[in-house]
Amino acid sequence: MDTKITLLIQLNSVFLITILSLFLRRSLQLTALKYWAVAWLCQSFALISLRLAFDFDEFGTMLFTYYFLGEYIFGFLLITGCKALESDFELNSKHEASILPFVAIAIVLPLLSREFNELLPIHAAILVGFYVFGYVTMSRQGIRTFGWKVMHVSLLLLAIQSAVYFAVSLAGMDFPLRSELLIYSPMITMVLQTALGFGMVIILLEKVLRRAEDANAELEKTKQTLEELVHTDPLTAALTRHAFYGFVRQGNSEGVSVNGCVGFFDIDGLKAINDCFGHTAGDATIRMVVGSIRSLMRAEDLIYRWGGDEFFVIMVRMNAEMAEVRMTRLENLLRGVKVDGIDDLIDIKVSWGFTDFASIDQLEQAIVFADQNMYKRKRQPKDIPSRDHEPRPGRDQTYDLDIRI
């Protein structure tokens, strides 16, 4: 095939990859793409210079210099883009200075001979170095996607093809298939460079896809965190009223069969704690009460903060009578306890009431009945010693602040 025709075909292929890279550059802000887009632009410039050199002999030396320079900048930026693929590597003045020897070679090489074919072995050897360096750089990347495989194989085959071209060019005329290899080498280069270009596009799109997946995973994680904040009371880690209504809606929509009892709890005298010792002590009291209630619950039971110092529990497959018996231990758990913010031991009083429910759609009504039962219990007379207003010595004594929960 005529060299000029082969060169035009190769130029069309490279020009297509260049246009695609430049369009992607407008929408994908990736460091590797920035270098690769310029690399393909330089490759297009190199091939155009070479094509013009064949038609304008008087400008041959200058145009060959442009060709070699474009090819070397292409190789340099190809490697730079490979480095930037995972680490967002950026060129600095020291890195840019490393291209100067190749600039010198591009200027000197056309001066050595006016026969382009005599210069190609040296040029091919330099390209082998670029392709091998790019292959090794890609090998060190942590990714192993389809795009990476296409690029990796393309770089290896380009290195082999350039090495073969170098060896055949130096061999004598008696080398088997020498003419065929030299004739078809540009076509092979075109095919491999096209595969390399599309491998670049694929690996960049895969990178964007990974970023999108990571962003979606982060959004999902943030969503779950927000849902936890909405559904969990930050003070006590109990579930919120919002979580309860979500539980009811989901249970009704899914036809969940649930039965058991609901217990409603109220802290008696929390205002007295807040007034005497501050709201920090009041918050600590609430946490202690919730922790004590939770210690009497089973793993499948749920505790909700209804508001302020009011809580309710859903005890699955347990009737109200059994729950009442279980909660009688609560009074002992809250007798003579140490609360943060209060120097002496105190007794915390709790009022509660239970009622049964047969299905999930009865839960809200069961809470109302449990609340009513709790207030009945609260109004019952209790054996509570009067508060001692005189200071009592010693830190091991228990203070009864007439606080009932």
Question: Based on the domain organization, do 265 and 212 belong to the same domain?
Answer: no
Question: Based on the domain organization, do 87 and 167 belong to the same domain?
Answer: yes
Q: Assess contact for 344 and 399: CB atoms under 8 A.
A: yes
Judge residue 397's burial from the number of C-beta atoms within 10 Å of its C-beta, 0-12 exposed, 13-18 middle, 19 or more buried.
exposed
Region for residue 89 given its phi and psi (left: phi exceeds 0; alpha: psi -120 to 50; beta: otherwise)? beta
Q: Identify the residue with better confidence: 396 or 170.
A: 170
Question: Based on the domain organization, do 183 and 321 belong to the same domain?
Answer: no
pLDDT at 63: 94
In a domain, 86, yes or no: yes
pLDDT tens, position by position, 145-154: 999 999 999 9
Which CATH number characterizes residue 301's domain? 3.30.70.270
In a domain, 235, yes or no: no
Boundary (domain end) residue, out of 191, 220, 249? 220
Question: Based on the domain organization, do 131 and 54 belong to the same domain?
Answer: yes
In a domain, 227, yes or no: no
Which CATH number characterizes residue 22's domain? 1.20.1070.10
| pLDDT surpasses 60 at 401 | no
Q: Which two tokens stand for residue 262?
A: 């609901």
In a domain, 234, yes or no: no
Q: What average pLDDT does the segment 211-233 reach?
A: 82
Q: Is 328 helix (H, G, I), strand (E, B) or coil?
A: coil
Question: Based on the domain organization, do 65 and 206 belong to the same domain?
Answer: yes
pLDDT at 148: 92
Question: How far apart (Å, rounded) are the C-alpha atoms in residues 209 and 370?
Answer: 53
Question: How far apart (Å, rounded) are the C-alpha atoms in residues 250 and 76?
Answer: 60
In a domain, 229, yes or no: no
Question: Based on the domain organization, do 36 and 111 belong to the same domain?
Answer: yes
Question: Based on the domain organization, do 308 and 365 belong to the same domain?
Answer: yes
pLDDT at 358: 93
In a domain, 125, yes or no: yes
Helices (H), 56-87: 60-87
Question: Based on the domain organization, do 93 and 127 belong to the same domain?
Answer: yes
Question: How far apart (Å, rounded) are the C-alpha atoms in residues 165 and 194?
Answer: 19
Q: How far is CA 294 from the centre of its chain?
A: 35
Boundary (domain end) residue, out of 190, 220, 250? 220
Question: Based on the domain organization, do 257 and 375 belong to the same domain?
Answer: yes
Q: Assess contact for 159 and 135: CB atoms under 8 A.
A: yes
Angle between helices 178-231 and 31-55 (to 10 degrees): 160
Question: Based on the domain organization, do 162 and 304 belong to the same domain?
Answer: no
The number of domains in the chain is 2
Enter the DSSP assignment of 335. S
Question: Based on the domain organization, do 190 and 317 belong to the same domain?
Answer: no
pLDDT tens, position by position, 304-360: 999 889 999 999 999 999 999 999 999 899 999 999 989 889 999 999 999 999 998
Question: Based on the domain organization, do 210 and 252 belong to the same domain?
Answer: no
Question: How far apart (Å, rounded) are the C-alpha atoms in residues 186 and 67?
Answer: 15
Judge residue 302's burial from the number of C-beta atoms within 10 Å of its C-beta, 0-12 exposed, 13-18 middle, 19 or more buried.
middle
Task: Domain of residue 65: give its range.
Answer: 3-220
pLDDT at 253: 84
Boundary (domain end) residue, out of 152, 186, 220? 220
In a domain, 232, yes or no: no
In a domain, 277, yes or no: yes
Handedness of CA 356, 358, 363, 365 (dihedral sign): negative
